[in-house]
Chains A and B, each alone.
Chain A
Amino acid sequence: MKVNIHLNKRVAVIGAGLTPFRRRLLETPQEIAWEAASKALDEAGLELKDIDCVVIGSAPDAFDGVNLKGEYLSHGSGGIRKPVSRVYVGGATGVMTAIAGWYHVASGLCQKVLAVAEEKMSPDRPHPQAIFRYIWDPILEKPLNPNLIWIFAMEMHRYMATYGIKKEEIALVSVKNKRNAVNNPYAQLGSNITVEDVLKSEVLVWPVQLLDVSPVSDGGAAIVLASEDVARRYTDTPVWVEGVGWTLDNTEWPARDLSYARYVEFAARMAYKMAGIERPNKEIDVAEPYDPFDYKELHHLEALQLAKRGEAPKLLKEGVFDIDGDIPSSPSGGLLGVGNPIAAAGLMKVISIYWQLKGTAGKMQVKRPVHTGVAQAWGDLMQAGTVIVLRN
């Protein structure tokens, strides 16, 4: 794949803010966005008047039960009387929010950008699952009354069948991530569970069980991006955005093999090329692959070229992706541990890498020194892939 991108400015992340991820927060979506955004400004040492442009990321409007989430969230996100844009590519939105913030700065349009992602899934009654009905093809798929978990279960089973992977091996992701989340003050579901617990949990859509899935959640996340001309005025430890990549595959998911995340591979290759990374498994020090389901982390580690096809479970078992392993994966606890307010969860992955590279991840900090990290998100009908590479 050929990527010809002409950068005007190098871009740094200079601040980040997160709200705790919880089910049923009392605050409105705007208040959640405001809390994340103001924390990010505080960390960057900026005030809202210093911000040139605002980018907002949020998944379907229907989750929060309000219309036009970009406009709705704009004042909570500091976007009043500023150029504001909203991005939305399903689950891939969170990382896309950072990428969109990046291109506002990289193009030379803005010097300082506030990128905010928010999601509130708990207002839906009886369950946000009903909202997902509208992502299916109205004529060819919806008559079968599909549930969103169906497609993940189908992908997971295909992945298992293609490479001969067992549920026990996949459950280790859930065990690892929930364990990592114990150290994350923002996490909803940190706990020490065993493979046995996962295998005994309620069967939702075989092979997906309750503890294979990330929880429904509310939360907000925000970062401040600045061009290299000004970044060092505000921080001595800027973390540079070295590469970005994003792709969409077609909507005909029944007509392509689900065992491999082609859409993520394309996005990753674009980001690595920009960052000058030739051997990702040697050059990446820490990763935050998107893990709304446990098998998804393995699937994405392979598409991110951090493991060969079908070999991520083996490396996981050997401890390569543990917090003290060669390539710590989801040291934050990921979506399985921290929670999954969709767009905010994706940006949380970027923030996790940023804090790791800045060395301010606290109890989540991986033990050995880290210089290059990758965060990734994925969305919709096995379709959207977004990847960002950061370096300190």
Chain B
Amino acid sequence: MVTPLKEEDLSKHYIISYKPNAKYAYTAGQAQSKYLLGLKEGKIYGRKCNKCGRIHVPPKMYCEECFRATDEWVEVKDEGIVMTVVASFISWTRAKLEEPEIVGVIRLLPSNNRDFVYPGIFHRICASYEQVKSMEIIGKRVKAVWKPKEERKGSIEDIQCFKVI
């Protein structure tokens, strides 16, 4: 029979701490590199598949539906519609946060509300906990708040957050 650990067993337990000296040099690839460089310029780029007409944001060099190469770079607006928004009171280690972090998903424009698949971005949203709770912010139009140009690094962090306009 399996046996649960008691509280005193836990204090007697060996804990092995180990910090692997692991560092990763991820490659952004062709599509994401252009996307990140675009962010540095204050632009959001996508790749368009001329067969199905879909604009891929984040961009991809291939269209997974048509399984062919995407055809061209398009610039989408740094504006969109809030699809969902949440307020996190826990950190990524599950430590408690006093002030919630507000994040969500934005359907970037051009796209319309009947699309199941659309150019999308996951980011912070400048809003209050009350606005999240009342759900008033879902469906609102938002625009990117960019960092000052000289501070941008070609990273997703070049956008501070999305703000209701």
Contacts and interface: CB of A to CB of B under 8 A. Distances in A.
A26 interface: yes
B118 interface: yes
A150 B86 CA distance: 7
Nearest to A23: B4
Contacts of A1: none
A257 interface: yes
Given A127-B93, A133-B92, A255 B2 contact: no
Given A154-B84, A252-B58, A262-B116, A24 B91 contact: no
A232 B133 CA distance: 57
Given A157-B135, A206-B87, A254-B121, A140 B58 contact: yes
A310 B96 CA distance: 33
B90 A157 contact: no
B24 A138 contact: yes
Contacts of B122: 140-141, 144, 253-254
B105 interface: yes
A19 interface: yes
B85 interface: yes
B94 A257 contact: no
Prevailing SS type, chain A contact patch: mixed
B71 to A, nearest CB: 18
Contacts of A252: 56, 58, 120
Size category, A interface: 35 or more
Interface in B118-150: 118-124, 129, 132-133, 135, 138-139
B57 interface: yes
Contact of B84 (A24, A145, A157): A157
A139 B83 contact: no
A65 B16 CA distance: 10
B104 A24 contact: no
Contact of A147 (B5, B9, B90): B90
B165 interface: no
A23 B9 CA distance: 13
Contacts of A160: 135
Interface in A80-104: none
A176 interface: no
A146, A157, A260: most-surrounded residue (chain B CB, <10 A): A157
B91 to A, nearest CB: 7
Count chain B CB atoms within 10 A of each CB in A20, A32, A143, A150 and give the residue with the most. A150
A262 B65 CA distance: 14
Contacts of A125: 15, 17
A150 B94 CA distance: 11
Chain B interface category by residue count: 35 or more
A371 interface: no
B83 A158 contact: yes
Give the residue among A23, A26, A35, A262 with the most B Cβ atoms within 10 A. Answer: A26
Give the most central of A31, A138, A206: most B CB within 10 Å.
Answer: A206
B85 A157 contact: yes
Given A139-B156, A258-B105, A126 B94 contact: yes
B90 A255 contact: no
Interface in B1-45: 1-5, 9-10, 15-17, 24, 26, 28, 32, 36
B72 interface: no
Interface of B: 1-5, 9-10, 15-17, 24, 26, 28, 32, 36, 56-58, 64, 83-95, 100-101, 103-106, 115-124, 129, 132-133, 135, 138-139, 155-157
Given A25-B3, A145-B91, 14 more contacts: A25-B2, A25-B4, A26-B3, A27-B3, A65-B16, A122-B5, A140-B156, A146-B92, A150-B88, A150-B103, A161-B84, A206-B87, A257-B115, A260-B116
28 contacts: A24-B4, A24-B9, A25-B3, A25-B4, A26-B4, A26-B9, A31-B2, A125-B17, A127-B94, A129-B92, A140-B122, A144-B156, A147-B90, A147-B91, A149-B88, A154-B84, A155-B84, A205-B86, A205-B89, A206-B87, A206-B100, A206-B133, A208-B86, A250-B64, A254-B105, A254-B122, A255-B57, A257-B117
The 7 closest A-B pairs by CB, nearest first: A24-B5, A255-B120, A158-B84, A153-B86, A254-B120, A127-B94, A254-B122
